[in-house]
């Protein structure tokens, strides 16, 4: 058994850490301007102009069965869908607002169709729910709000009451956790302080928002009462089940800063930079980087939540499909080094340019070759511990020697700890080849 124990929390994280890989889906009205899901904030767009998107939102090609099939093929075991993003638009048929998809040309509950399609593929269901809301009339104007630069911004806040908004959120979370069957993850987003950094410092009378504004204790209590096993992230400003490093890769297992305890964590990453569909973005990650990200994450005991931003017509564009295909091709033959795997025990140190993962039961060690070495893979500390070695992608045997290097070289000396795996001189046609090591 793995010796790494993470902090116990209320949510059921057991299936989650075994699964390791999920799909994030950012979809909303912002897929129409197609220049970042924060466009309303960045460009300070007023309601009247933003209403154009509401008026014309028509995802006529939305077929979540296809998304689910692609997610499954890519090896993703769960999904997290934006039921409402910061723009405030609801992708579900809420009784508490008119600002929802059923009142647009879309004319149907898009969350429901997502849930049905993904569940049918055996994929676990997550809901992202934005705490920030740039549409709700009681959400006060702060330094992130699209109207922060209005001349009368301060006056606009008169009469706005965050307590009414907090109640609105509870009502919607109740709907989301009641009307769609079992929900596995609830992903709140996010809390922020007033910072001293420009450009925000100049908004001197504005404040940040966090657990007090969201009334997070009540919100979370409600969520747990409706869905006892649900995994909840930390972004409502209270430590819960899940730590969520965003758009960076941790260099070690995420720990509690004070106690040093290991935590359950999930890196979230985009294919191209923005979360929502961005037509003109050209910073798409290379296939190598995508696979390495997944491997690096699992090698440090984490999960990877990889994002797609569907178009406003409701399909995944070619660039997203191609990126998912990278995972599909690799996972088809190599997923055994990912599912049910975690950071290798401290006694094992991966060689240069390699990453280890290890199965939970400790019996298999996986060496991921980020750079393909010539002919020999030298593994220190493994001599005497290994029963059998093969390439994972094709299950072909890899011969090995122990205690000595089995080739002529000056100064080659005996080393009792050393195990040397003989590799074919040409790298197999796999982005990141994996050496599967069966331990004694
Ligand atoms: C952020 C962004 C956002 C995105 C999210 C994903 O905090 O505000 O647009 O949804 O993180 O992690």
What is d(CA 40, CA 30) in angstroms, rounded to the nearest whole number?
8
Burial 378-407 (b: 16+ CB within 10 A, else e): ebeebbebbeebbbbbeeeebebebeeeee
Residue nearest to atom 4 of ligand 1 (CA): 275
Same domain? 388 vs 420: yes
Residue ending a domain, among 313, 340, 367, is 340
Q: Are 325 and 43 in contact (CB under 8 A)?
A: no
Residues 133, 215: one domain? yes
Closest approach atom of ligand 1 to CA 37: 9
| Cis geometry, peptide bond prior to residue 188 (ω within 30 degrees of 0) | no
Whether the Cβ atoms of residue 307 and residue 24 lie closer than 8 Å to each other: yes
All residues at 6 or more sequence positions from 435 whose CB lies less than 8 Å from its CB, including other chains:
366, 367, 369, 377, 389, 390, 391, 392, 398, 421
Whether 234 lines ligand 1, by a CB cut-off of 6 Å, is no
Same-domain pairing of 319 and 419: no
Give yes or no for a contact between 20 and 338, defined as CB atoms under 8 angstroms apart.
yes
168 and 236 inside one domain: yes
With residues binned 3-state (H G I as helix, E B as strand, rest as coil), the percentages for the chain, rounded to 5, are 25, 20, 55
For residue 234, give the nearest of 205, 251, 256 by alpha carbon: 256
67 lines ligand 1 (CB under 6 A): no
CA 191 to ligand 1 centroid distance, Å: 11
275 lines ligand 1 (CB under 6 A): yes
Closest to 78 measured CA to CA, from 14, 155, 151, 2: 14
- Nearest 5°: the CA angle 388, 393, 395 is 35
For residue 71, report the distance from its CA to the centre of ligand 1, in Å: 20
What is the domain-level CATH number for residue 86? 3.20.20.80
Using most ligand atoms within 8 A of CB, pick from 35, 127, 186, 190 the residue to mutate for ligand 1: 190
> Domain ends where: 310, 340, 370?
340
Q: Are both 395 and 281 inside the same structural domain?
A: no
In terms of C-beta density within 10 A (0-12 exposed, 13-18 middle, 19 or more buried), how is residue 425 classed?
A: exposed
273 lies in the same domain as 388: no
Q: Is 317 in the pocket of ligand 1 (CB under 6 A)?
A: no
Q: Retrieve residue 160's tokens.
A: 């706005």
Whether the pTM exceeds 0.75: the reply is yes
Choosing from 33, 128, 275 the residue with most ligand 1 atoms within 8 A of its CB, the one to mutate for a pocket test is: 275
Domain that holds residue 414: 354-439
The answer to whether the bond into 199 is cis (omega within 30° of 0) is yes
Tell me, in angstroms, the distance from the centre of ligand 1 to residue 189's CA: 7
Q: Two tokens at 22?
A: 């999920």
Interatomic CA distance for residues 121 and 72, integer angstroms: 7
Whether residue 152 is contained in a domain is answered as yes
Decide if 6 is inside a domain: no
Burial of 422: CB neighbours in 10 Å, binned 0-12, 13-18, 19+ = middle
pLDDT of residue 198: 77
- Which residue, 83, 82, 67, 74, is CA-closest to 119? 67
What string of pLDDT tens digits covers the 440 residues of the chain?
A: 889 999 999 999 999 999 999 999 999 999 999 999 999 999 999 999 999 999 999 999 999 999 999 999 999 999 999 999 999 999 999 999 999 999 999 999 999 999 999 999 999 999 999 999 999 999 999 999 999 999 999 999 999 999 999 999 999 999 999 999 999 999 999 999 887 777 777 788 888 999 999 999 999 999 999 999 999 999 999 999 999 999 999 999 999 999 999 999 999 999 999 999 999 999 999 999 999 999 999 999 999 999 999 999 999 999 999 999 999 999 999 999 999 999 999 999 999 999 999 999 999 999 999 999 999 999 999 999 999 999 999 999 999 999 876 565 555 567 889 999 999 999 999 999 999 999 99
Taking the CA of residue 430 as centre, how many other CA atoms within 13 Å lie in the half-sphere pointing to its CB?
22
Question: Considering the domain boundaries, does residue 291 fall inside one?
Answer: yes
Assess whether 161 and 304 both reside in one domain: yes
- Which CATH number fits the domain that encloses residue 392? 2.60.40.1180
pLDDT for the residue numbered 411 = 52
Give residue 197's pLDDT.
Answer: 78
SS3 326: helix
> Does residue 8 fall inside a structural domain?
no
| DSSP for residue 96 | T
CB of 268 closer than 6 A to ligand 1? yes
Q: Are both 117 and 142 inside the same structural domain?
A: yes
**Which one of 340, 364, 388 terminates a domain?**
340
Residue 373 Cα to chain centre, angstroms? 31
Query: Are 21 and 113 part of one and the same domain?
Result: yes
As for how many domains the chain has, the answer is 2
For ligand 1, what atom is nearest to the CA of residue 130? 10
In a domain, 112, yes or no: yes
């Amino acid at each position: 058994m793995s010796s790494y124990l993470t902090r116990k929390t209320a949510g059921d994280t057991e299936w989650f850490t075994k699964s390791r890989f999920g799909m994030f889906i950012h979809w909303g009205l912002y897929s129409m301007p197609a220049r970042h899901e924060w466009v309303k904030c960045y460009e300070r767009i007023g309601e009247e102009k933003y209403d154009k998107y509401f008026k014309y939102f028509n995802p006529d090609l939305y077929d979540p069965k296809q998304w689910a099939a692609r997610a499954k093929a890519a090896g993703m075991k769960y999904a997290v869908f934006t039921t409402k993003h910061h723009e405030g638009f609801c992708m579900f048929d809420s009784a508490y607002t008119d600002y929802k998809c059923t009142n647009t040309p879309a004319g149907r509950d898009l969350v429901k169709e997502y849930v049905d399609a993904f569940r049918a593929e055996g994929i676990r269901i997550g809901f992202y729910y934005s705490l920030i809301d740039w549409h709700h009339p009681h959400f006060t104007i702060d330094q992130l709000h699209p109207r922060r630069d209005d001349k009368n911004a301060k006056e606009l806040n008169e009469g706005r009451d965050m307590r009414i908004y907090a109640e609105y959120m509870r009502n919607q979370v109740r709907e989301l956790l009641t009307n769609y069957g079992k929900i596995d993850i609830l992903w709140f987003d996010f809390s922020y302080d007033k910072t001293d950094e420009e450009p925000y410092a100049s908004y001197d009378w504005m404040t940040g928002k966090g657990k007090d504004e969201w009334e997070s204790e009540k919100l979370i209590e409600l969520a747990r009462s409706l869905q006892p096993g649900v995994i909840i992230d930390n972004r409502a400003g209270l430590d819960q089940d899940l730590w969520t490093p965003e758009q960076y890769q941790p260099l070690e297992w995420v720990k509690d800063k004070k106690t040093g305890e290991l935590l359950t964590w999930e890196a979230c990453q985009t294919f191209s930079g923005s979360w929502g569909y961005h037509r003109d973005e050209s910073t798409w990650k290379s296939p190598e980087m995508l696979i390495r990200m997944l491997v690096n994450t699992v090698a440090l005991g984490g999960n990877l939540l990889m994002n797609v931003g569907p178009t406003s017509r409701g399909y995944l564009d070619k660039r997203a499909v191609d990126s998912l295909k990278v995972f599909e091709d690799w996972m088809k033959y190599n997923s055994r080094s990912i599912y049910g795997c975690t950071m290798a025990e401290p006694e094992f140190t991966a060689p240069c340019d390699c990453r280890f993962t290890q199965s939970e039961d400790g019996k298999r060690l996986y060496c991921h070759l980020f750079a393909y070495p010539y002919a020999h893979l030298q593994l220190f500390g493994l001599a005497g511990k290994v029963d059998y070695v093969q390439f994972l992608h094709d299950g072909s045997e890899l011969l090995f020697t122990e205690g000595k290097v089995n080739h002529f070289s000056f100064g080659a000396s005996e080393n009792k700890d050393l195990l040397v795996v003989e590799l074919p001189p040409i790298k197999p046609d796999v982005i990141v080849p994996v050496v599967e090591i069966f331990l004694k």
